[in-house]
Amino acid sequence: MQVFTNNRCGTCSQCCYFTAVPELGKDNHFWCAFCSPGEGCKCYGLRPLSCSEYVCLWHVNKGMPRTMRPDQCGVMFERLVDAPVFLAMVDPKRRNSWQMEPARQIVVKLLKDGYSIVVHSGPYDQNHILLAEGYTVEEVRAGIRHAILRANAKMVEESNDSAAVRN
């Protein structure tokens, strides 16, 4: 079977590891069954909604150097929709990579630009919440809850649309 990837990603397939894919019952920090690590997705054309809507900061920011690619720096940054919050998904083999260059540059810039950051280092580690000036932990948590509810509602809507097409 042919493996597909976006050329800008190169051999990076960290999103297939770091992100949860509820439609497939996949938790974050575990490899997706449809991923060929270092190559890409084996079901790219039919990938679930949560995969197709996922936005990696490095992927969309064409000005970021290759050293900030998630598989290079050990951290994958994702902005939550409708919230001034980024998730920093950290490679559990490099737990402190978010505190070291080059990832530290992104952390400092995001905080300076008014974004809070939730640092997640794996399924067994405690999250760190880095607050942008003027934000509280409660506001960050509310933003996360809102993003989760929005994503769940969208998946239910797509599921209903798919069921209607089949009938």
Supply 101's token pair: 């260059």
68 in the Ramachandran plot: left (φ > 0), alpha (ψ -120 to 50) or beta?
A: alpha
Distances (CA, A) of 16 to 50, 59, 79, 131, 136: 11, 14, 17, 27, 31
* Helix H or strand E encompassing 110: helix 103-112
With a CB cutoff of 8 Å and minimum separation 6, the contacts of 164 are none
Burial degree of 149 (CB within 10 A; 0-12, 13-18, 19+): exposed
Q: Where are the domains of the chain?
A: 7-166
The amino acid that residue 128 corresponds to is: H
pLDDT truncated to tens, each residue of the chain (167 aa)?
444 444 568 889 999 999 889 889 998 889 999 999 888 888 888 889 888 888 899 989 988 999 999 999 999 999 987 789 999 999 988 989 999 999 999 999 999 999 999 999 877 778 899 999 999 999 888 888 887 777 667 667 765 655 555 55
The pTM assigned to this predicted structure is 0.81
